[in-house]
Every structure is written in C-alpha cells, then in structure tokens.
Amino acid sequence: MDNRSEIESKIRSISKTLKQWAREYYELDAPTATDYEYDMLFRELKELEEQYPEFAFPDSPTKRVGGEPLEGFVKVAHNVPLMSLDDIFSKEEVFAFCRKVYEANGGPCDLVVEQKIDGLSVAATYIDGELRVGATRGDGEIGENITGNLKTVITLPLAFDPETSRGHVGRLVVRGEVFMPRRMFEKLNAACAGKGQNTFANPRNAAAGSLRQLDSRITASRRLDIFVFNLQEVTGVEIKTHSESLEFLKGLGFKISPNYRVCKSPDEVWEAIQDIGENRSGLSYDIDGAVIKADDLALRAQMGATDHAPRWAAAYKFPAEQKKTRLLDIAIQVGRTGVLTPLAILEPVRIAGSTVSKATLHNADYIRDKDIMIGDVVGLIKAGDVIPAITGPDAEQRDDGYPRRAFAMPEFCPICGSRVERDPGEAAARCIGIECPARIARSIEHYVSKDAMNIDGFGEQMVATLLDHGFIKTIPDIYDLYSKRDEILKLDRIGEKSFTKLIMAIERSKKNELYRLIYGLGIRNVGVKAARSLAYFYGNMEMIRNASAAEIASINDFGEITAQAVEDFFRDPQNLHTLNRLAELGINMEESERKRATRGALEGWSFVVTGTLPSLSRQQVHKLIEDNGGRTSDSVSGRTHFLVAGENAGSKLAKAQALGVTIITEEQLLALIESRKS
C-alpha cells in the first residue's frame, strides 16, 4: 500500500474500530470482538504507525498501553488549586448551605447536585486539544505528574478537536475522579489473593494504588475509569455556568458527572440527594455522598474559598446502612501465607443493595475484643458500602434462648492438619505445614526465589501453571519435572528451550549452599542472615533439625521467638516429610568444610558499613562480613565493633567517632580477614 492517503485512511479506520471495541469492553461490558481479534488489529495498527510515524495520531489506542517504568514522580504545580470540600450530614445543614449561597447571590439561584465519586482526584491539562499533563491532587497546590498512567484510562480523551462552535480551545484543564468499577475491584482482589498478595480494602484504595504505579503497564491492566466533574481552566471559550461547562466537556468527548441535576430550591436539592442515596446500591462504582455546588461561575468567584475548601460547594455524606443478623457459625479460611482467618457465617441479610451471608472477623483478638459469640445477633454494616463488617453483638438479645458458644482458634490447620502457631505480639495465627495445599503456591514461590534456591525461570506464572495442571503438588516435586517433560511441553507458552534451561537451573540448585535451603524452607522469622548463622553454627541439616530452641537461642542474633519457630518447624511431621524427600533427591544438606573454615575469621564482631567504598558495594561487603562469621547492622551503637567507612560517610562516621568505635577502610577489612584466617 503506497498511496499515503489510503494509509492514513486505513490507520484512522483501524483506530476507530479499536476505540469502539474498547468502549464496548470497558464501558458497556458487552464486547462484540474477541480478545484475539482486538490483539491482532491492535498489532496491525502498531506496525503501521511504526512504518508511518506521521500518522501516529495523539489519540491512537496504542498510546494507552503504558510505557517503561519510572524511577519516581515529578512534582506538578496546579494553577487553580484542587481543593477539598466541607462535609455536611443532615437536612438542616443542607438547607443552611443553600441559604448561604442565596445570601451571597442576593436571592435564589441554581444549585447543582452530583454524585460524589469515591476515587482519586486528578487534573488533566490539554493544549490545543492534546493531553499534555496529568497530575494527582496532592496537597491541592502541588501534585505528582502521572501523565503516562492517566493516558491508560480508557474513557479519558487523549485528544479532541479544539475547533468548536464556541471558538478555539487553547488551554483546557479539567478535574476528574479516577475510580475502579466494582467488578474490576473484585477481579483484582481475587487475583491478588490467588498470588498470596495483600488485597485492597476498597475500590478507592485500589484506584489510588493503581494510578500511582511507577510502571504504567500495571495501571493499564487495572481498567480504571474516570468522571470529569469540574472545568478548572479554559481559554478561547466563554462559559458562564457549571452545568453549561459539563455539557461543553461532554461534547468534547469527556465522561462527565453522571445524572447531575440543576435544582431551583432547597427542597429540590434535598430531593436530588435522597434520589442519589436510594439508587447508589445499584451503581457499578462507589460513591461516598453527594456534592452541592453553586451553578453560576461568577458567583463562585465572588464567594471564594477558605484555606482548604470553596465556600460555594459542600459534600453531603450518607450514613452507613446498618442491619442486624444472626451469627450462625465461624469458619476458618487458610490464606496463601498460611494465615488462618475467622469467617463469620451469617443468616443472610440484604444490605446496601446486596445479600450478605459472610463477613471476615479478622483474627481471634478481634473476636475477643468485640465479645462476639457464635449464636449472637450482631450488627452488620458495609464499610465504604462494599466490605461487610461486623460491628459487635447485641448484648440485649443474649437472653433470647438461642444457644451460644465462644470461639477458639484451632490448634491444627483445618486444611492439612499441621500445627497452628502464633508468635507473641502478633494477631495472626499461621499454619506451619510446608505442604499445606492452601499455601503450597507461596511455599514454592519462596523456595525457588533468588535469595533462596535461586531457580531461574521458575516465576509465579510457572508455579501457577504447573500447580494448576497437577505437575507439582509439593516442593520436592520440582526435582521430578524432567520425567514429565513431554506432557509439560504440550502446555501453552512453555517451549523446549526454556524448559531445558529450567531443568538445568533445578539441577544446579541441588548443589546450593546449605543456608539457601534453610531460607527456602520458609521458617517463620528466619531470613537470609539467620539462615547463614544456622548453617555455619551447626554445619548440617541433621544437627539443625535435632537442635532445641534453647540451644538455637544461644546463637548470635537469635532471640527466643525465632529459636522456637525453628524448633517448631522441625518438629512438624509434614515439614520433616518434605525435608526427607529433598535429601533423597540429592539436595545438599551439608555446610562445606571450606565455608566453615573461612567463616570464623570475623566471628564475634559486629560491623556497620557506610559511605562509598572503592571497589565493593555495601551489599558485597555485608556478604563478605557474614561469610566470615561477622554480624552486620544498619545503625551504629555501643555494641558496634567496627565501622567500615568509605567516601561521604556522613552521620554514621560522626556517631562512631563519638562512641569510640574502631573505624577501618575496605582495604583494612580485607587485610583483617586474611590475618584472622592464617
């Protein structure tokens, strides 16, 4: 295709089709094209734009996929502050606000009532119709530049035609609320839970976390949405009212505040607020109230603002809906990290637009502190209108004859039968079974990680794929994957070359140092440093598994809690089963004699490393010290024996001098190690 007008026409046609498909998928939830069809057409557009960059238009769908990760966000100053709103909570306060606006106007005037979207406030700046800067609200005066992330929000125009019937739009700044639809929030939390990651408390937190990702490709995957609710600045066009500005923005392609209403009296304002409250449960997104605004822009300028909020607007907050229901039982869920979470089984009750039959009870302390008993009538709310939460028991109904019993956290995991442990000072109770089906994915991911057995190519996706297809069920199964080679190579996205590299990495891991295996077992509170200490002190796995907590506590940097965690781990039959299988498979269980001989050079001494050293990084120096039996710390104290100082040592050097700590160079450290070995 050589005719450039035909090329331009084709690019515009593909772009239009992709935009329509994206709208059907993201906004209407009614896709007419398959993911494959979209991906193939998207690839064609990208290839055409690369070949003919003059036709890579600013509003192309290829601009929404996200770019390379950033190191941090640049600060952006807002020409017009993005202020917060004063809250009101009653009909009387609503009427009082209306009277205040009327008084400033010298008589009745139009007021606009809108939904208060529960998301993250942003400003988007357009120059001659092209999106140039996207920024968070920040403190209202200074925000963060999130342009790359904001471009991934499918409903925000990347560009618009600046030539309008009202005139040429030169500079345009709009304020909007970025939010995550409820169905996307549920999918995201399910995915996080499946990977053993922390879930988000509510859609607002999820939207905020997604929009502030340094990698905009992650933001793009979260399917965020936006409602534009205010015109901050505009040049080249005259607009007199807020409602007029919303319709103008809608004409430019912006998704504006939904179902806003222009009201002529306080009664109409209250009616509009009540309508929003009654219909909020049926929305596909969260709102946390209603906003009342003066419509006339000149009146807004006249009324001005306080230090933090405009005088011409207020936010009405809805009271949380509360219901009572019976707590029928308390079940136990076991998460991917082994944490046991009590789950309330409730007599189903409809609240905030949905029927609720379950709610988390967090942990045993929460149940005790709230004095909750199985069989109680309990109060139930939806925190943020989304997350069911139990507020506590109705003590007055405890004499209703319904049988009640106290809750106790089980001593053994309901999934695998291993012992449940709870460290002093922690609220969480955990299953310690390394083979527990509920936590096996996380156990394997940790075992193969870089600081543990360092099996390259064995990432989260590979773990999930092999678990889903039944090729692995426990950690030792990793070392039997080659026997299933033919079946595994039939899976999508696993090629022969990558599988061969994986098998080679697995085989190499058998010869790893002992500390890597100890750390890879995932013993509670045992990090890399503690694993090194155990390996050096005992010399082999057999000695470690037979050691008592009292013996282990005598090792440098081991406290009673960690020592007990080690003993408990090696007393669990499930963990010993895994360890025995690993030994049978040829995994190294011994600390090499060379390592044991050299590690004692710095034994009994504590080091702090600071400044820029001539040839080694701080991490390398830390490893060198620990490999030779020394201890490292990040802060100087009276227990520090040596400060290894490089250039620009700073405050740590001054503190070491004040405390009389011996200060040495990198060269002197190396000489010290050599002299102690001889």
What was the pLDDT predicted at 492?
81
Q: Is 70 exceeded by the pLDDT of residue 598? A: no
CB contact set of 95 (below 8 Å; sequence gap of 6+): 266, 270
What was the pLDDT predicted at 338?
87
In contact, 612 and 648? CB cutoff 8 Å = yes
Q: Is 90 exceeded by the pLDDT of residue 478? A: yes
In CATH, the number for domain 410-591 is 1.10.150.20
Query: Two tokens at 408?
Result: 């106790």
**Count of other CB atoms within 10 angstroms of residue 364:** 18
Amino acid at 173: V
Average pLDDT of the chain is 88
Query: Two tokens at 136?
Result: 């968070």
Q: Is 50 exceeded by the pLDDT of residue 55? A: yes
Going through 418-551 in order, the beta strands assigned E by DSSP cover: 420-421, 429-431
Q: How many CA atoms lie within 13 A of 565 on its CB side?
A: 24
**How much is the average pLDDT of 340-346?**
94
Q: How far is CA 383 from CA 190, 286, 288, 319, in A?
A: 19, 11, 11, 11
In contact, 576 and 601? CB cutoff 8 Å = no
In contact, 334 and 436? CB cutoff 8 Å = yes
Higher pLDDT, 300 or 84: 300
**How much is the average pLDDT of 189-217?**
80
pLDDT bucket at 427, cuts 50 / 70 / 90: confident
**Count of other CB atoms within 10 angstroms of residue 660:** 8
Higher pLDDT, 403 or 553: 403
What was the pLDDT predicted at 594?
47
CA angle in degrees (0–180, nearest 5) for 344-349-352: 105
**Extents of the domains making up the chain:** 4-64, 77-316, 322-397, 410-591, 596-677
pLDDT bucket at 255, cuts 50 / 70 / 90: very high
Pick from 462, 434, 381, 371: which is nearest to 581 by CA? 434
Size (the chain), residues: 678
Higher pLDDT, 102 or 182: 102
* Cα–Cα distance measured from residue 443 to residue 569, given in angstroms and rounded to the nearest whole number: 14
DSSP, collapsed to helix, strand or coil, labels residue 455 as coil
**The domain made up of 322-397 is a member of CATH 2.40.50.140:** yes
3-state SS of the chain: helix, strand, coil percent to 5? 40, 20, 35
**How much is the average pLDDT of 511-519?**
95
Pick from 90, 86, 80, 77: which is nearest to 310 by CA? 86
Q: 77-316 has which fold?
A: D-amino Acid Aminotransferase; Chain A, domain 1 (3.30.470)
**How much is the average pLDDT of 516-530?**
91
Rg of the chain (C-alpha set): 31
Query: Two tokens at 641?
Result: 């024996």
What was the pLDDT predicted at 532?
87
Helix (H) or strand (E) holding 460: helix 460-468
CB contact set of 132 (below 8 Å; sequence gap of 6+): 125, 126, 147
pLDDT bucket at 48, cuts 50 / 70 / 90: confident
In the chain, the percentage of residues whose pLDDT exceeds 70 is 93
- DSSP notation for 593-627: HHHHHHGGGGTT-EEEEESB-SSS-HHHHHHHHHH
Pick from 124, 166, 147: which is nearest to 251 by CA? 166
What was the pLDDT predicted at 1?
45
In contact, 219 and 124? CB cutoff 8 Å = no
Q: Is 90 exceeded by the pLDDT of residue 473? A: yes
In the chain, the percentage of residues whose pLDDT exceeds 90 is 51
Strand partners, 292: 113, 314
Instruction: Name the catalytic one among 19, 63, 116, 510.
Output: 116
* Cα–Cα distance measured from residue 492 to residue 465, given in angstroms and rounded to the nearest whole number: 10
Q: Which residue has the tokens 């297809």?
A: 469
What was the pLDDT predicted at 367?
94
What was the pLDDT predicted at 190?
82
Q: Is 90 exceeded by the pLDDT of residue 643? A: yes
What was the pLDDT predicted at 413?
94
Strand partners, 632: 607
CB contact set of 21 (below 8 Å; sequence gap of 6+): 31, 32, 33, 37, 38, 41
Query: Two tokens at 149?
Result: 């992330």
pLDDT bucket at 461, cuts 50 / 70 / 90: confident
CB contact set of 214 (below 8 Å; sequence gap of 6+): 69, 70, 71, 72, 73
What was the pLDDT predicted at 383?
60
Higher pLDDT, 284 or 475: 475
CB contact set of 652 (below 8 Å; sequence gap of 6+): 608, 610, 635, 636, 643, 645
**How much is the average pLDDT of 350-374?**
87
Q: Is 90 exceeded by the pLDDT of residue 56? A: no
pLDDT bucket at 170, cuts 50 / 70 / 90: very high
Pick from 484, 392, 439, 457: which is nearest to 575 by CA? 439
Q: 4-64 has which fold?
A: Helix Hairpins (1.10.287)
Of the options 3.40.50.300, 3.40.50.2300, 3.40.50.10190, 3.90.78.10, the CATH number for the domain spanning 596-677: 3.40.50.10190
Q: Are strands 167-168 and 111-117 parallel, antiparallel or unpaired?
A: unpaired
Q: Is 60 exceeded by the pLDDT of residue 371? A: yes
Pick from 177, 155, 166, 440: which is nearest to 287 by CA? 177
Q: Is 50 exceeded by the pLDDT of residue 173? A: yes
pLDDT per residue as tens digits for the range 227-251: 999 999 999 999 999 999 999 999 9
For residue 641, the Cα-to-chain-centroid distance in whole angstroms is 40
10 Å CB burial of residue 29 (0-12, 13-18, 19+) is exposed
Q: Is 50 exceeded by the pLDDT of residue 629? A: yes
* Cα–Cα distance measured from residue 405 to residue 372, given in angstroms and rounded to the nearest whole number: 9
What was the pLDDT predicted at 559?
82
* Cα–Cα distance measured from residue 444 to residue 458, given in angstroms and rounded to the nearest whole number: 9
Same fold flag, 410-591 and 596-677: no
In contact, 194 and 221? CB cutoff 8 Å = no
Q: Is 90 exceeded by the pLDDT of residue 265? A: yes
What was the pLDDT predicted at 31?
66
Phi and psi, residue 521, nearest 5°: -70, -15
What was the pLDDT predicted at 555?
77
Active site residue 19: no
In terms of average pLDDT, the best of 186-200, 319-333, 623-637 is: 319-333
What was the pLDDT predicted at 491?
87
